[in-house]
């Protein structure tokens, strides 16, 4: 028998974005129905951010043991129990899991349905034997690994980020198809945990969205650790080899290319899982990468909002969380129509930073020099090397650089950092870019010594160095000295 639920807000997807909306709305006293067909916590908790960073942490410890001699401590080849590494990764997931659990959200007052959802009207969703009618809906279905139509792929046991963390034995030779953040992070983690690793990237370099000058520093470090990075390499076919191995065939810079490995990881991008939602029934328009939304995260049906990866924008957990805060404002406080003194209901995800959690880390916010040039912006750059930072010297972490892009009048357009703790260092630059600050804001900052944060202040100072120590300035100083 079909059950009817009437509610204020129905959220489809219990990943980071959907859970943030549910928690906010429930704690503000609204009736909430939350629908999730798979795991609570979504990709971030179960297959993405959390397990990948736990695996990277294990690899970092192994690498510290290998390179301990630079600190005067005897280095050794670490004894790695990959099964125990697997347990560590899943232990981290288990520790965080209660925050995203069904029990927690039911305790907040949400009705949680663990079913597939599909729209059966403009203001109606069916989930299992329950029909949900709501004043507003939020689609937060996230994204899933994109599996390209490679000949023979269905005949071999390939991995995606949804199955990679189930491995209990380290791959002998991991072939990674895709040189984006997921592929590169997992490539370095497995190399440090004992696997031979080959990365196949069809573009001219890995991490093509980042600044090439800084990517080159990271790529050199990765190759120094023994990773094979094959760029300009297209994959045409995969096949079974002897003893369960996998043969990958393609072309590198137009010439035939072939590599054989024990495991194959497909990491060429992600796509939103929208087919089963019957969006047309609800009058929700889509585009090739996801659901079409306006600046307030509303779809073409004004009663339905969409957030996170399913909109086809920047696919990061922190962007999904940001979208969640917008829809809480826009639905509950009616900010598209009324303000009540609340600002910020419009989407500005272009101001969001991103980080690739390799070692060294690579972080970015705003425009790269290449982006600024493509837009016709007048800009200059300021750089500072980690080598010049005393804390980096003390920690033997001197391979790194910050690159700041500055527009007219000293306006900050963007910043990129490669080096230790780059993901933490990018935070103040995001604040500056989002608030329209000028480069002078960093020269006025007093950074604690000795910390890596000083690279930001020194980069800002480097912008002023040519004019500060110019002949004109020296002449002015001499003139002022005459009044002593």
Per the CB < 8 A criterion, the answer to whether 257 and 233 are in contact is yes
CA-CA distances (angstroms) from residue 82 to 47, 124, 190, 393?
18, 47, 10, 32
385 annotated among ligand-binding-site residues: no
143 annotated among ligand-binding-site residues: yes
Distance between CA atoms of residues 188 and 201, nearest Å: 15
96 annotated among ligand-binding-site residues: no
- Through-space distance between the first and last CA atoms of the chain, rounded to whole angstroms: 94
Tally the C-alpha atoms within 13 A of residue 227's C-alpha that lie toward its C-beta.
Answer: 30
Per DSSP, the three-state class of 292 is coil
Cα three-residue angle 194-171-227, rounded to 5 degrees: 55
142 annotated among ligand-binding-site residues: yes
Distance between CA atoms of residues 324 and 309, nearest Å: 12
269 annotated among ligand-binding-site residues: yes
Per DSSP, the three-state class of 374 is helix
309 annotated among ligand-binding-site residues: yes
**Best CA proximity match to 388, nearest among 375, 380, 399, 373:** 399
All residues at 6 or more sequence positions from 111 whose CB lies less than 8 Å from its CB, including other chains? 5, 7, 31, 32, 33, 34
- Cβ-defined contacts of 98-107 (< 8 Å, 24+): 100/14, 100/19, 100/40, 100/41, 100/42, 100/45, 101/40, 102/40, 105/14, 105/19, 105/22, 105/23, 105/26, 105/34, 105/40
**Best CA proximity match to 265, nearest among 430, 148, 432:** 148
182 annotated among ligand-binding-site residues: yes
307 annotated among ligand-binding-site residues: no
98 annotated among ligand-binding-site residues: no
73 annotated among ligand-binding-site residues: no
35 annotated among ligand-binding-site residues: no
29 annotated among ligand-binding-site residues: no
180 annotated among ligand-binding-site residues: yes
Helix (H) / strand (E) element for 416: namely strand 412-419
Per the CB < 8 A criterion, the answer to whether 52 and 184 are in contact is no
Per DSSP, the three-state class of 360 is coil
**Best CA proximity match to 330, nearest among 141, 142, 136, 125:** 136
Tokens of 240: 């079974």
Per the CB < 8 A criterion, the answer to whether 32 and 8 are in contact is yes
User: How do strand 263-266 and strand 158-159 relate by DSSP bridges?
Assistant: parallel
Residue ranges of the binding site for NAD(+): 178-185, 201, 269
Which residue ranges are tagged as binding site for FAD? 53, 141-143, 309
Q: What residue numbers does the annotated binding site cover?
A: 53, 141-143, 178-185, 201, 269, 309
């Amino acid at each position: 028998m079909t059950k009817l639920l009437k509610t204020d807000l129905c959220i489809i997807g219990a990943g980071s974005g959907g859970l943030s909306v549910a928690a906010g709305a429930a704690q503000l006293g609204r009736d909430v129905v939350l629908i999730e067909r798979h795991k609570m916590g979504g990709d971030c908790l179960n297959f993405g951010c959390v397990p990948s960073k736990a695996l990277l942490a294990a690899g970092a410890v192994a690498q510290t043991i290998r390179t301990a001699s630079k600190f005067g401590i005897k280095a050794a080849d670490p004894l790695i129990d990959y099964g125990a590494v697997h347990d560590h990764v899943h232990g981290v997931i288990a520790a965080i899991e209660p925050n995203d659990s069904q029990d927690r959200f039911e305790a907040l007052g949400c009705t949680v349905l663990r079913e597939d959802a599909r729209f059966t009207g403009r203001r109606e969703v069916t989930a299992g034997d329950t029909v949900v009618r709501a004043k507003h809906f939020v689609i937060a279905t996230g994204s899933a690994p994109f599996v390209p139509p490679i000949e023979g792929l269905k005949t071999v046991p390939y991995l995606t980020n949804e199955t990679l963390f189930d491995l209990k034995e380290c791959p002998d030779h991991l072939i990674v198809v895709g040189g984006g953040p997921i592929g590169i992070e997992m490539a370095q983690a497995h190399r440090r945990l004992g696997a031979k690793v080959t990365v196949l990237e069809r573009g001219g370099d890995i991490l093509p969205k980042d600044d090439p000058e800084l990517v080159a520093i990271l790529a050199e470090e990765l190759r120094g650790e023994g990773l094979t990075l094959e760029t300009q390499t297209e994959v045409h076919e995969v096949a079974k080899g002897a003893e369960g191995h996998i043969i990958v065939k393609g072309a590198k810079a137009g010439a035939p290319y072939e590599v054989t490995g024990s495991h194959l990881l497909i990491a060429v991008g992600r796509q939103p899982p929208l087919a089963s939602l019957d969006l047309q029934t609800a009058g929700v328009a889509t585009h090739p990468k996801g659901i079409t939304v306006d600046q307030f995260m509303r779809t073409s049906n004004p009663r339905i909002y969409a957030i996170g990866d399913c909109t086809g924008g920047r696919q990061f957990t922190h962007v999904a969380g940001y979208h969640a805060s917008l829809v809480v404002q826009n639905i509950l406080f009616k900010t598209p129509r009324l303000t009540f003194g609340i600002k910020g209901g419009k989407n500005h995800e272009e101001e969001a930073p991103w980080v690739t959690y390799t070692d060294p880390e690579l972080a970015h916010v705003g425009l790269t020099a290449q982006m600024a040039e493509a837009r016709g912006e007048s800009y200059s750059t300021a750089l500072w090397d980690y080598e010049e930072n005393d804390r980096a010297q003390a920690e033997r972490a001197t391979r790194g650089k910050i690159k700041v892009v500055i527009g007219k009048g000293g306006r900050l357009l963007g910043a990129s950092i490669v080096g230790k703790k780059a993901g933490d260092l990018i935070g103040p630059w995001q604040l500056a870019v989002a608030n329209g600050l000028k480069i002078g804001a960093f020269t006025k900052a007093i950074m604690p010594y000795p910390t890596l944060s000083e690279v930001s202040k020194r980069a800002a100072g480097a912008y002023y160095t040519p004019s500060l120590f110019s002949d004109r300035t020296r002449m002015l100083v001499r003139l002022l000295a005459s009044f002593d």
